[in-house]
Amino acid sequence: MYHWISVPVLLPAIMGAAIVLLMRNDLLLQRVFSLAAALGLLAVSIALLVAASNEGPEIYMLGDWPAPFGIVLVLDRLSAMMVTLTAVLAVAVLLYTIGSGWDTRGRHFHALFQFQLMGICGAFLTGDAFNLFVFFEVLLIASYGLMIHSGGKDRLRAGVQYVAFNLVGSSLFLFALAAIYSITGTLNIADLAVKAAELPQGDAALFRVAAVMLMMVFAIKGALVPLQFWLPGTYSNAPGPVAALFAVMTKIGAYAVIRFGVIVLPPGHPVTGTLISDLMLPAALLTLIIGALGILGATTLSRLAAFAAVASMGTAFIAISAFTPASTAAALYYMVHSTLAGAALFLIADLVTYRRAHDGLHQALPPIAQAGLISALFMTSAIATAGMPPLSGFIGKLLVLDALRDQAALVWSVILVTSLITIVGFARAGSSLFWKAHASAPEGDGATHPAQALSFVAVGTLLAGLVALTVFAGPVIAWIEVTAASLFDPAAYIAANQLPEVK
């Protein structure tokens, strides 16, 4: 699989450039080639997932320069899982975009979408901290273009806020990388794992500061309190399919925390000790609380979906903060679930908005076309997001509770109470959107809106993924547990980066 490791980065990069240069005036060609590229990415990612499961970590050396001197992409079970999740989401979002016509409301949607996929896949596959920064910047540029797609004052203002927060994160990232390189002489993740454990006492304090700065950058990307302010405004004002794709972007922050917090700075590290865990747990608990209260007080469905994304990151970071194989496995399962559920919720919010011109929750509104089907989709996504049985959200929260049973008094109380608040918030939103609309308001133009079957197929695909996570929870959890265990035994990962020859 050696050369195939580069395909998730190269395929969308080449396709994005081809769309800009050769197809910018032909929307049909853009749709065909963009969807074909996403399907190709999905096929390749599945093949890489199988290879990583059977063969262990493998690297791709760009320019044939070995690590730690050259740039490497590293395929292991975790990176393969996240790339596959991204590919599944990309196909669903593109189907929705084509079905709803969102790509007709501005220029260069498909090119920006492909560059966004390049940045996301590159961030998951890179084995080098500096190139993680590079892919973050690719993400920032492409996501800003997607964020303001089709224009509007509110969207532009939210986009500027989004860029400002992320530029702060980029600056911190550069400072942290400069400090780490000055101490260790490397930015390769596997090489950092070796050298960080052998630091002389005099360098420990500076390395500790750099490590905290690095985790702050990942906290910004993952919308962790007190650095979550950019997310609700950004996601609620973004176009529906763009916000759905953004559901995986916050997971990059969580992924980076897992990658660095387990391999480079594992629990009990002589330099950082339990500092990262001690800082992360209270922040994660507050993130979950703020997300749940935001769901309860949301004035629009899109804003409710945005706060649901905040709450889901709080739950994921609670599990990550324990830094044990069991808690990491729980976090990974919940991250997959929350990505699919969050994306589905944003698309459902767009279905409602498209039929009503807005998705307000505090006034009687006219009924909409396909209200029965949309309400069923909303109820399914609400059950999954809130963590109610029988869907995967319930299983994911059970895994988190079980992994942190030694902190039951605090963690269990917060998770259970916020779950109840979330259920109430979703019930209120569903009542306002669907039941009260039919009971108290006259019909409007939205009652005769065309069905747009492809859009419903896209939402159904994401919800089917949640059902599959539930039905096949046993083998999925078993696979993820092996993945988490391999992270806490990084010998194979480190050895793969030190191979001197191309396979």
Binned at pLDDT 50, 70 and 90, residue 155 comes out as: confident
pLDDT at residue 195, rounded to an integer: 86
- E runs forming strands in 42-184: 58-61, 72-75
Please tell me which residue, 191 or 85, carries the higher pLDDT value: 85
- Residue 237: Cβ within 10 Å count: 24
Q: How far apart are CA 139 and CA 337, in angstroms?
A: 22
Q: What is the mean pLDDT of the chain?
A: 88
Find which of 32-41, 187-196, 203-212, 299-308 is predicted with most confidence, using mean pLDDT: 32-41
Tokens of 371: 């209200």
pLDDT over 70 (residue 269)? yes
Reference 112, options 16, 30, 247; nearest CA is 16
Q: What is the per-residue pLDDT for 229? A: 82
Angle between helices 371-386 and 392-403 (to 10 degrees): 10
Angle between helices 230-237 and 153-184 in degrees, nearest 10: 130
DSSP-derived 3-state class of residue 361: coil
pLDDT at 502 (0 to 100): 36
Name every residue whose Cβ is closer than 8 Å to that of residue 503 and which is 6 or more positions away in sequence: 2, 58
Rounded Cα distance, 114 and 471, in Å: 32
Percentage of residues of the chain with pLDDT beyond 70: 93
Q: Is residue 501 pLDDT above 50, yes or no?
A: no
What's the rounded Cα separation, in Å, for the pair 250 and 221? 6
**Alpha-carbon span 496 to 266, nearest angstrom:** 19
Residue 56 banded pLDDT, cuts 50, 70, 90 = confident
Q: What is the pLDDT of residue 343?
A: 95
Q: What is the pLDDT of residue 500?
A: 45
β-pairing, 58-61 with 72-75? Answer: antiparallel
- Smallest CA-to-CA distance from 112 within 137, 73, 144 is with 144
Cβ contacts of 259 within 8 Å, gap of 6 or more? 78, 189, 487
> What are 191's two structure tokens?
């090489």
Q: H-helix or E-strand containing 195? A: helix 189-196
Specify whether the CB–CB gap between 73 and 44 falls below 8 A.
Answer: no
CA distance 265 to 271: 8
Rounded CA-CA distance 291/232 in Å is: 9
DSSP 66: P
Residue 400: both structure tokens together: 């988190």
Q: Residue 196's CB: how many other CB atoms inside 10 A? A: 25
C-alpha distances (whole Å) from 86 to each of 46, 135, 140, 361, 451 are 11, 15, 17, 31, 27
The pTM (predicted TM-score) of the whole model is 0.93
- Is the model more confident about 447 or about 321? 321
Helix axes 109-125, 249-259, angle to 10 degrees: 10
Which phi and psi (to 5°) does residue 269 adopt?
-60, 140
**pLDDT tens readout for residues 137-146:** 998 889 888 8
Q: Are 348 and 94 in contact (CB under 8 A)?
A: no
∠ at Cα 332 (329, 336), nearest 5°?
A: 145
pLDDT digits (tens, 9 = 90+) for 418-457: 999 999 999 998 888 887 755 444 544 445 566 678 999 9
Please determine, for residue 334, whether its predicted confidence score (pLDDT) is greater than 90: yes
- Ramachandran sector of residue 298 (left: φ over 0; alpha: ψ -120 to 50; beta: rest): beta
Helices (H), 222-324: 230-237, 240-246, 249-259, 275-297, 301-321
Which residues neighbour 380 within 8 Å (Cβ) at sequence distance 6 or greater?
A: 344, 391, 463, 466
> Using CA atoms, how far apart are residues 20 and 442, in angstroms rounded to an integer?
45
Look at 24-28, 89-93, 202-206, 305-309 and tell me which has the smallest mean pLDDT.
202-206
Distance CA 64, CA 85 (A): 29
Which DSSP category does 445 fall into?
G
- Report pLDDT for 359: 61
- Residues 111-127 pLDDT 10s: 999 999 999 999 999 98
**H helical segments located in 101-152:** 109-125, 129-147
